[in-house]
Chain A
């Protein structure tokens, strides 16, 4: 197990560090752009995350494999830990991007004006990184866990990783207990990482709305802006443009698309409904449980291999009394919700616990309680991170196969399950057509968000600003007592 564990940890740590760096740089770049350009970057990030791992891996094999078309002038060896880490980073950078970008949307102009000398690297060091630190810690664990559990991409590039031990026991002896015993590092190591990285959240006072992007770019400074531009253009090109070109370039794919769409409509509806419902329930559960520290135990459900989670669900629900649920599509939604509840809880908790305390006090003094408090104080602050949490869970649900393969009842097939079935037969045009449909499903909520963004999230209700100004009036400097 030693060498397998070393390979797994090596690829996962490298992939996490690379993904964090690329995502952070892309978030800096996007935050300094006008709103329309930010939405474009967000769409591209969604595409990067929604591309299937096999499509990304095969794309890079095509270009940089032993017989790759770019191999002559770019002799990079992908068949190594570094190669695998790079491919995984190209898949997972959008997670950090979404987290950091949404965290910085809670900053307002006062944060930048408080210290005019805070520019460039100092701005990142003393303001931007501390604001996003907690949420980045959560997505670092998420990224690390996703990379640690990857088997198909390392297998293609001939890197032997620990998940193979799990699959050996699961497939040879049909023994879930032995399989669980084999994969304990895959659960305990990320969980320990999360316990180490979580910190006391700091609430950031906010009196206006999110900061003007010109001000952000001015404080970021030209050198850092140029550097992040170069990094972002490269990472978007390599993670989106290149694989997407491979997917879309074949005319046969487009000829197959209408027929495939007609044939697969029930699976398309299933996929969207399951993913949206599971993500929504996970966010609602996060909203109900964010105050409970024990909610952190939900991470264990995410870190456990999907097939083992489904074995546990079968044990729980395949009984006479609960059979009506087990035989219905509800079991799929339950499984997906349990699987991704942990990361969603962590992000929701972070969003709520960092609400400006002075605004909360002012609203409470004014008599706001319950839903009114949530609507006028918590939600305007937490909405970007809540949306990021929902979207990350939604995208992960779209491509989930391991959790569903043992559970889905007849008629509840999803697009991802159909893609993996068709991959076997070399029906690449149809597989590509299905991937395009999945990309469309992945983009749909994001496009809806950017269309409604200004109306729902951007224009904060007047009453919230009243509380923000009221809170400002209560600070010692404003009433002359300090």
Chain B
């Protein structure tokens, strides 16, 4: 008993030293799945312009960029976050369906990036590159395609959207043909770009901002143009239900939706544009969420087992 009391006292003292600090009166807590390199300068600018201190937490590819979504679910009974800035739409819709987001003006989308086919320009000429997702299952691309596990992140969302577009049967046949072509299944979209840039793979399925990052690094890559099978991925901003700093959150949300903010994100390569083009998949998100479990089960059966 004495041992336990000593232990508890010691731990308590150390915890007090570790930094319990009082809160600030004008502040906003934002959970940003938008990449830190892009988000941080914008949040700093908001802070300078309004005098509101921004306390930000960022997501990580180490937890498949769903760390913040999970965190919001766990904290729902006692929310710590005011604003959730996401760089894709599916998780935001899942959170809205669970009642994590504020009841009024639930969330808004802003800007877009897209899913792309990326090629190694030293190994494939643009004229000979596959022009559709169906053609990457051809034998000539066997062992030369890289993609992130289609059960995580935007790759999963893209696959689910394709299922809706093609129909379940055709989609499953395509998935099986893709798997039979022995693709490289890697941990994330940035790894896809590295694999293609290094020449381990000739073709990759990835996000446009990852391609932009690869080009900045000097990799010999190029992305193919948008098609009707490309998925457009919006940024979203939402106020959390029960947020402690509602007013500050609304100001931040409005700031993020401004055209100047969008232009900065576009210039940095985080977004491709502010208004989605006519091309790209048209997604029924409600139906996609309903089909999530069954589609995921098919993907597990094809790509994991």
**Which A residues lie at the B interface, using CB under 8 A?**
1, 3-4, 58, 61-62, 65-67, 151-152, 155-156, 158, 160, 164-165, 167-168, 170-174, 176, 273, 277, 281, 284-285, 288-289, 307, 311, 314-315, 318-320, 323-330, 333-334, 401-402, 405-411, 413, 417-418, 420-428
**Residues on the B chain within 8 Å of A277, using CB:** 14, 18
Q: Which of B110-118, B213-221, B222-230, B273-281 contacts A (4 or more CB under 8 A)?
A: B213-221
- 30 A-B pairs within 8 Å (CB atoms) are namely A1-B305, A66-B200, A156-B187, A160-B304, A164-B151, A168-B151, A168-B296, A170-B63, A172-B296, A174-B98, A277-B14, A314-B71, A314-B75, A315-B74, A319-B78, A326-B80, A327-B80, A328-B18, A330-B14, A333-B18, A334-B15, A408-B57, A409-B57, A409-B80, A417-B62, A418-B36, A420-B61, A424-B188, A424-B213, A426-B213
User: Nearest Cβ distance between residue B245 and chain A, in whole angstroms?
Assistant: 12
B64 x A171 contact (CB < 8 A): yes
Report Cα–Cα, A479/B74, bound state, in Å.
Answer: 68
**Residues on the B chain within 8 Å of A418, using CB:** 36
A426 x B71 contact (CB < 8 A): no
B49 at interface by CB-CB < 8 Å? no
**With A288-B4, A318-B75 given, can you name 19 additional A-B contacts, CB distance below 8 Å?**
A158-B184, A158-B185, A168-B152, A168-B304, A170-B66, A171-B64, A174-B69, A307-B67, A311-B70, A325-B20, A328-B19, A328-B20, A330-B14, A402-B62, A406-B74, A410-B55, A417-B62, A424-B213, A428-B217
A318 x B185 contact (CB < 8 A): no
Q: Which of B190-211 contact A (CB under 8 A)?
A: 190-191, 193-194, 198-200, 210
B7 x A284 contact (CB < 8 A): yes
Report Cα–Cα, A176/B10, bound state, in Å.
Answer: 32
B186 x A173 contact (CB < 8 A): no
Report Cα–Cα, A406/B286, bound state, in Å.
Answer: 27
Report Cα–Cα, A307/B78, bound state, in Å.
Answer: 19
B200 x A171 contact (CB < 8 A): no
Question: How many residue pairs at the A-B interface have CB separations less than 8 Å?
Answer: 189
Report Cα–Cα, A383/B296, bound state, in Å.
Answer: 52
Report Cα–Cα, A327/B213, bound state, in Å.
Answer: 34
**CB nearest neighbor in B for A329:** B19
Report Cα–Cα, A165/B210, bound state, in Å.
Answer: 25
**Residues on the A chain within 8 Å of B64, using CB:** 167, 170-171
B11 x A281 contact (CB < 8 A): yes
B15 x A421 contact (CB < 8 A): no
B63 x A174 contact (CB < 8 A): no
**CB nearest neighbor in B for A3:** B305
Contact of A405 among B14, B67, B188 (CB under 8 A): B67
A411 x B63 contact (CB < 8 A): no
**CB nearest neighbor in A for B217:** A426
Given A152-B187, A409-B57, A173 contacting B62 (CB threshold 8 A): no
**CB nearest neighbor in A for B7:** A288
User: Nearest Cβ distance between residue A77 and chain B, in whole angstroms?
Assistant: 13
Number of interface residues of B (CB under 8 A): 71
B77 at interface by CB-CB < 8 Å? yes
**CB nearest neighbor in A for B91:** A174
Report Cα–Cα, A176/B72, bound state, in Å.
Answer: 13
**Residues on the A chain within 8 Å of B198, using CB:** 61-62, 65, 67
B59 at interface by CB-CB < 8 Å? yes
Given A155-B185, A329-B19, A330-B15, A4 contacting B74 (CB threshold 8 A): no
Report Cα–Cα, A449/B190, bound state, in Å.
Answer: 39
User: Nearest Cβ distance between residue A450 and chain B, in whole angstroms?
Assistant: 27
B292 at interface by CB-CB < 8 Å? yes
B300 x A168 contact (CB < 8 A): yes
**Residues on the B chain within 8 Å of A1, using CB:** 305
B293 at interface by CB-CB < 8 Å? yes
**Residues on the A chain within 8 Å of B3, using CB:** 288-289
Given A277-B14, A314-B71, A422 contacting B37 (CB threshold 8 A): yes
B73 x A333 contact (CB < 8 A): no
**Residues on the A chain within 8 Å of B29, using CB:** 410
Contact of B186 among A156, A165, A171, A288 (CB under 8 A): A156
Report Cα–Cα, A333/B305, bound state, in Å.
Answer: 38
**CB nearest neighbor in B for A152:** B187
**CB nearest neighbor in A for B123:** A67
Report Cα–Cα, A176/B67, bound state, in Å.
Answer: 11
Nearest 4 CB-CB pairings of A with B:
A410-B55, A426-B217, A330-B18, A330-B15
Report Cα–Cα, A445/B69, bound state, in Å.
Answer: 37
**Residues on the A chain within 8 Å of B293, using CB:** 172-173
